[in-house]
Amino acid sequence: MRERTRLQSQVDAVKALERDLGDALGYAEMADEEGDEASLEEARGQLKAIKDRAGRAELEALLSGEADGNDAFMEINSGAGGTESNDWAGMLLRMYTRWANAHGMEVDFLEETSGEQAGIKSVTLQIKGPNAYGWLKSEGGVHRLVRISPFDAAAKRHTSFASVWVYPVVDDNIVIDINPSDVRTDTYRASGAGGQHINKTDSAVRLTHIPTGVAVACQMGRSQHQNREEAWKMLRARLYELELQKRDAERAAIEEQKTDIGWGHQIRSYVLQPYQMVKDLRTELETSDTEGVLNGDLDAFMGAALAQRVGATRE
């Protein structure tokens, strides 16, 4: 039923595009015959919007991975550099939250560690919406910021780094077998803002998968039971993403080329000084609209990375 719903929504989207295109062209023809420039300009705007929708639908048709339609977990961690990197991680959090909100997706905070002076040291989010993982999976890697530091009295230029990890929420259709004896469970007292029960009991839960060293934690639930359940979901998702990375690495070895996505590798630079430029180092796509990108306008970068990834798979 889930697959049927997904396919039906794609068919409905194409039908809607055809219908809206016909209406817009008819409206433009009428305006042209009457010499109504204002209506013609409105028709141009409608056609541009339809073109943008068609472009996005074309890219969404490429989201054919096993977990592309799933919700996504996202982890953002600041790099070395203290306040500068913490502030940059906070900027990335705002950027992705705005992107998700602009696309009608829901963002839930699972864990957050604030920086001492500004920003965050780390945060874990769950982003819920159609094809959330499919769109966000290309954002994994190291993000680099160059700017005049607002925290430096000498107004010197600083370079900051933060890493972004994205992995799918594993649903019942994807089976991940985990031996409970391979998992160590630690409980501790949650920190940070929260409800009336936070900081009073050892409700926070950390799970460590001993064979791989993968560790996840959740502290935002009201009870240890809720946090434990969410942490197990996160652990299954992390182990599934590890398996996907192994498959990518095997394919890359066969093709004798690097994978499109490699955790820990710099994927994008955001330069605010001495010039304005955001450049993706994998696709070479760049824009001078740094404000737009930092406010969540990421579709062009995601689309280019997705198209490149699918192209590499097909070659």
- Residue 46's pLDDT band, with cuts at 50, 70 and 90, is very high
pLDDT in the model for residue 139 = 93
Mean per-residue pLDDT, 160-188: 82
pLDDT in the model for residue 259 = 37
Q: Is the pLDDT at 191 greater than 70, yes or no?
A: no
DSSP code, position 182: G
Residue 272 DSSP SS3: coil
Rounded CA separation 11/26 (Å): 23
- The residues pairing with 147 across neighbouring beta strands, listed in sequence order, are 158
Q: Which pTM was predicted?
A: 0.67
The percentage of the chain sitting over the pLDDT mark of 70, rounded to a whole number, equals 87
- Residue 19's pLDDT band, with cuts at 50, 70 and 90, is very high
DSSP code, position 139: G
Rounded CA separation 214/304 (Å): 30
- Is pLDDT larger for residue 45 or for residue 195? 45
Structural tokens at position 131: 């094809």
Mean per-residue pLDDT, 65-77: 87
Q: Is the pLDDT at 95 greater than 90, yes or no?
A: yes
As a 3-state breakdown, the chain gives helix, strand, coil percent values, each rounded to 5, of: 45, 25, 30
Minimum mean pLDDT range among 163-177, 188-202, 211-225: 188-202
- Is pLDDT larger for residue 282 or for residue 66? 282
Q: Is the pLDDT at 100 greater than 90, yes or no?
A: yes
Q: Is the pLDDT at 312 greater than 60, yes or no?
A: no
Residue range 250-264, pLDDT digits in tens? 656 544 433 333 344
- Residue 136: name the closest of 299, 311, 258, 264 by CA: 299
pLDDT in the model for residue 133 = 92
Q: Does CATH place domain 71-315 in 3.30.70.1660?
A: yes
Domain residue ranges of the chain, discontinuous segments joined by +: 2-60, 71-315
- Provide the 10 A C-beta neighbour count for residue 29: 12
Rounded CA separation 130/126 (Å): 13
Residue range 104-152, pLDDT digits in tens? 999 999 999 988 888 899 999 999 998 899 999 989 889 999 998 887 7
Rounded CA separation 84/82 (Å): 6
pLDDT in the model for residue 93 = 96
Mean confidence (pLDDT) of the chain: 83
Residue range 255-299, pLDDT digits in tens? 443 333 334 468 999 999 889 999 999 899 999 999 999 999 999
Residue range 229-248, pLDDT digits in tens? 889 988 988 888 887 777 77
CA distances from 126 to 139, 198, 208, 224, 237 (A): 15, 20, 19, 18, 11
pLDDT in the model for residue 311 = 62
Q: Which regions of the chain does DSSP assign to beta strands (E)?
A: 72-78, 106-114, 120-128, 141-148, 157-168, 183-188, 204-209, 214-218, 266-271, 277-280, 286-287
- Is pLDDT larger for residue 183 or for residue 176? 183
pLDDT in the model for residue 254 = 45
- Is pLDDT larger for residue 17 or for residue 150? 17
Interhelix angle 299-314/37-60, nearest 10 degrees: 40
Mean per-residue pLDDT, 185-207: 70
- Residue 313's pLDDT band, with cuts at 50, 70 and 90, is very low
Taken in order 276, 140, 128, 5, the sign of the CA dihedral is positive
Contact 119, 53 (CB under 8 A): no
